Amino acid sequence: KDKSAMICRVPFGARRLPFRRGIVTVRGVKEMRAVRETMAKEGKIVGFVPTMGALHQGHLSLAEKAAEDCDEIITSIFVNPTQFGPGEDLGRYPRDLEGDIKKLRSVPKVTTVFQPDPEEMYPEETHIYVTLDSLEERLREGRSRPGHFKGVATVVTKLFNIVQPHKAYFGQKDGGQCIVIKRLVQELLINTEIKLVPTLREKDGLAMSSRNAYITPQERPHATVLYKALQELHNLFVNGERKAEKLLQCGIGIISANQNVRIIYLDLCCSHTAKQFQGSDVIPKGVKVMASGAIMLGKTRLIDNILLEA
């Protein structure tokens, strides 16, 4: 028998995808739990890659890493409305389910795509959300997008509760999100191991992102300025500079010199606690620091980060 067909489970409410034997798409929570229960009975180590779709090679690298560690992989595709603020790009966020499934064909062990309905994830009478207290305020991305991490923490908690993965994979590109999810799992005692995967970049250094599709050909040469600023900041750090003010001035100066972009923030914080380093602060030895930033390029908001270790 074809082994890839043998691992395919199609419970009521699930639909077999035409693109690859062995992959099913599941819409309902009850059906997703039925698929997961079968995996548990078979003793499978399950990896989970939550996404909002519009997949690129960065997403696929998460699934490829999961394939190294796990027996089967569940991928979710859900554009989560609660992590978008007023005036943000929820309505125009790229969506390409058929293209996403075709891309997932290239990754072994991806057996299930969970595409929940927004109405089931967030019923009309939804009262319970996961809030982050002061953590969201400590993260510059949180202050820049009020409510964003509340939405992220809420949807990830729901997805973990439904899928119950042994391991879940996230890209370091969304550095603030990585800090939030690690703390979420630790503090809510969620039995899932969080695996962070390095940022995948284009040849010129631009971090891969679904929102890169918004960038026009005229804007594209300026899209790497944030990464260049972070690189120069990193070089200064490697050469011994530990004063936050000096490091931030270096990066801000590079971004400000480009008239085609607008800086939203450049930040230094502890990659575990999100404690900020600014002004006359000196980064202590042994602390792993995330240097992160956000810029506007035309109508496109771009974020990036790199890790520094004293």
Tens of pLDDT, residues 194-235 = 999 999 999 999 999 999 999 999 999 999 999 999 999 999
What pLDDT, on a 0 to 100 scale, did the predictor assign at position 20? 40
Q: Please tell me which residue, 20 or 157, carries the higher pLDDT value.
A: 157
Work out the percent of the chain whose per-residue pLDDT is above 70.
93
Strands 288-297 and 261-270: antiparallel
Q: What is the mean pLDDT of the chain?
A: 93
What pLDDT, on a 0 to 100 scale, did the predictor assign at position 40? 97
Rounded to 10 degrees, the C-alpha dihedral 122/196/143/240 comes to: 180
pLDDT (average), residues 76-83: 98
Q: Using one digit for the tens of pLDDT, what is the confidence trace for 126-162?
A: 899 999 989 999 999 999 999 999 999 999 999 999 9
Q: Is the pLDDT of residue 73 over 50?
A: yes
Cβ proximity of 199 and 79 under 8 Å? no
Q: How confident is the model at residue 310 (pLDDT cuts 50, 70, 90)?
A: low
Per-residue CA distances from 232 to 187, 238, 247, 252, 288 (Å):
35, 10, 9, 10, 18
What pLDDT, on a 0 to 100 scale, did the predictor assign at position 284? 94
Q: Is the pLDDT of residue 5 over 50?
A: no
Give catalytic residues, as residue numbers.
Answer: 59
